[in-house]
Amino acid sequence: MAELKVHDIVVHLNDIHELFVLPQQDPFSAQVRFLSGIDVIKSQVKPQMLRQADRTRIVIVLPAKCNEADLVGKIKSALRRYCEFKIWQNHEASTTLKQDSLRALVVGTLFMGIGLFLLSYLEVLPVFLSTFLNDGFNVAFWVILWRPVDFLLFDLTTTLRENRIYKHIAQMDVVVRFE
């Protein structure tokens, strides 16, 4: 039986609101952070943490003055709402991009089909001109088809991976420690 691994993601905050809001920036401070707490958490979630057998905890370290009743419950609810919103936002964006990419793929394929049909009639032109137009059209066809294919093969997987991370964050245990 595999041993249960516990991964801790530790985030030091000056205030609980820094979990979702970018903190006040002071580049001259040794403790400067250029990311909100949720962005730090998201950046630290690694693929091995997404496995079912492993457990990941978010450890939030706050000043003692931030201690309040049911803080862990409030944080878990806020994290869940945020993650649900980001998953919905990603779904909406990917749906729109998918539709646009499929439309561009259809238009590009039609353009390529018409172009290939017309290229078959270039034999009546001089060899140099025929070769020049043939090669030029081939480059143009690939340029037209590249973006929709790129999105469908690569960008969509990025969105799916990001959604897996948000689902994982929404289910993480939360521990709050005070300094």
* 94 shares a domain with 38: no
Is the same domain home to 61 and 123? Answer: no
Whether residue 49 sits in one domain with residue 18? yes
Confirm whether 41 is domain-assigned: yes
Tell me how far apart the alpha carbons of residues 145 and 102 are, in angstroms, rounded to a whole number: 10
Is residue 39 predicted with pLDDT exceeding 90? yes
Domain co-membership, 110 together with 70: no
pLDDT digits (tens, 9 = 90+) for 82-130: 999 999 999 999 999 889 888 988 988 898 888 888 877 777 888 888 8
Do 102 and 128 lie in one domain? The reply is yes
Q: For a pLDDT cut of 90, what percent of the chain falls above it?
A: 44
Res 2: pLDDT: 59
Do residues 21 and 69 share a domain?
A: yes
In this structure, the answer to whether residues 98 and 163 fall within a common structural domain is yes
- Structural domain count, the chain: 2
Same domain, 72 and 20: yes
Q: Are 62 and 16 part of one and the same domain?
A: yes
Residue 81 lies in a domain: no
Q: Are residues 46 and 104 in the same domain?
A: no
Task: Tell me, yes or no, whether 115 lies in a domain.
Answer: yes
- The domain of 52 spans 6-76+171-178
21, pLDDT greater than 80: yes
